[in-house]
Amino acid sequence: MTRVCIFGAGAIGGYLGAALHEAGADVSLVARGPHLAAIRDNGLGLEKGGTTTRYRLAASDKSADLGKQDYVILAIKAHTIPMIIDDLAPLLGPDTAVVSAVNGLPWWYFHKAQTGTALDETPLEAVDPGGRVWNEIGPERASGCVVYPACEIAEPGLVKHIDGDRFTLGEPSMEQSERVRTLSSLMIAGGLKAPQKPRIRDEIWVKLWGNCSFNPVSALTGATLDAIGTDPECRALVHAIMTEVREIGQAVGVRFSVPIEKRIDGATAIVGHKPSTRQDIEAGRPLEIDPLVTAVLELAEGLGIAAPTLRHVSGLLKLQAETLGLYSRP
């Protein structure tokens, strides 16, 4: 039986854990606080399609309780990964794969990227300060995962599925590996869509394209996606950011298959939704600025690309977050 630990059994992590359990995997969860207490008392609840199902899964706030795994899926904020390296160690055997189900540019991004730039085989300082994750976990363990579903924690121990069921998987090397094939098969057996894509970085950037444009504008204004996309000045600002981000991505070999206007229209069609960065502000949670924005600007600097619009909006967002006590500059 394949052993999978979900490190960060929040909304997305809980949804993934339930699906993998349905597929027959031996699933364990790393969680904390009232959420962990509720999972231990009543099992992990998943509300989907008007039906709530409870799953009795091993859960702990101490990874050493859970043993070595075949897969560790990191379902936490990307900027917090360096903080949990010591907690990961007890879960890792010689062949354990570490799957980053995170937003933004992942810590392993330039492993086997073959961009032909000086960035190849180097860690991203914005998400992996000092290269500690790269050096101690090792990029050879890493597989990529782009997360599309929307879920929320309705109450401690209960995850509510809102929309979507696709998790795109891929290797940094662009190979069709057995380990990703196995995980994809498990996720599909659990009722998810889990395509294995050789060009996983293209998938990362298409999602990041929206994250580093709509997210800051929503965070600064409090507006929903549809409001931003229908406001002429905000739409023009998003377009300018996307133009700069596309130039940065193309400089490291990314293929953008969707025109900018179509990408904006797709986000604008989602009525009444505020991106995660604005949700974090309203909930008083630390902001995920570095993987979504700072890492992109790090690439721009390394490549000699100006990106003035993104840089100015990033400055506003960081000052706002610092003022609210939700972000600290490195």
pLDDT tier for residue 71 given thresholds of 50, 70 and 90: very high
Residues 222 and 190 in one domain: no
Task: For residue 330, tell me if it sits in a domain.
Answer: no
Q: What is the pLDDT of residue 329?
A: 85
Total number of domains constituting the chain: 2
Block residue for tokens 């050879």: 140
Domain harbouring 57, CATH code: 3.40.50.720
Residues 85 and 106 in one domain: yes
Task: For residue 328, tell me if it sits in a domain.
Answer: no
Mean pLDDT of 44-59: 96
Q: Which two tokens stand for residue 94?
A: 């010689």
Residues 68 and 107 in one domain: yes
Task: For residue 9, tell me if it sits in a domain.
Answer: yes
pLDDT over 80 (residue 97)? yes
Residues 59, 288, 249, 231: is their CA dihedral positive or negative?
positive
Q: What is the pLDDT of residue 44?
A: 98
Domain termination site, one of 198, 220, 250: 198
pLDDT over 80 (residue 203)? yes
Residues 126 and 214 in one domain: no
Q: What is the pLDDT of residue 40?
A: 97
Residues 227 and 121 in one domain: no
Domain termination site, one of 181, 198, 215: 198
Residues 165 and 248 in one domain: no
Residues 155 and 244 in one domain: no
Nearest-angstrom CA–CA distance, 18 and 59: 13
Q: Which two tokens stand for residue 231?
A: 């406001």
Nearest-angstrom CA–CA distance, 47 and 159: 6
Q: What is the pLDDT of residue 206?
A: 93
Q: Could you read off the pLDDT of 112-170 as tens digits, one per residue?
A: 999 999 999 999 999 999 999 999 999 999 999 999 998 989 999 999 998 899 999 99
What is the residue-averaged pLDDT of the chain? Answer: 96
pLDDT tier for residue 207 given thresholds of 50, 70 and 90: very high
Q: What is the pLDDT of residue 330?
A: 76
Residues 172 and 93 in one domain: yes
Nearest-angstrom CA–CA distance, 272 and 268: 9
Q: 197 catalytic, yes or no?
A: no
pLDDT over 90 (residue 270)? no
pLDDT tier for residue 273 given thresholds of 50, 70 and 90: confident
Q: Which two tokens stand for residue 169?
A: 């998987």
Tell me phi and psi for residue 95, to 5 degrees: -115, 15
Residues 95 and 179 in one domain: yes
Which residue among 68, 112, 207, 318 is the active-site one? 207
Mean pLDDT of 73-95: 96
Angle at the Cα of 97 from the Cα atoms of 156 and 296, rounded to 5 degrees = 80
Task: For residue 216, tell me if it sits in a domain.
Answer: yes
* Domain extent for 234: 203-323
Residues 134 and 208 in one domain: no
**Percent of the chain clearing pLDDT 90 (strictly above):** 95
Q: What is the pLDDT of residue 177?
A: 96
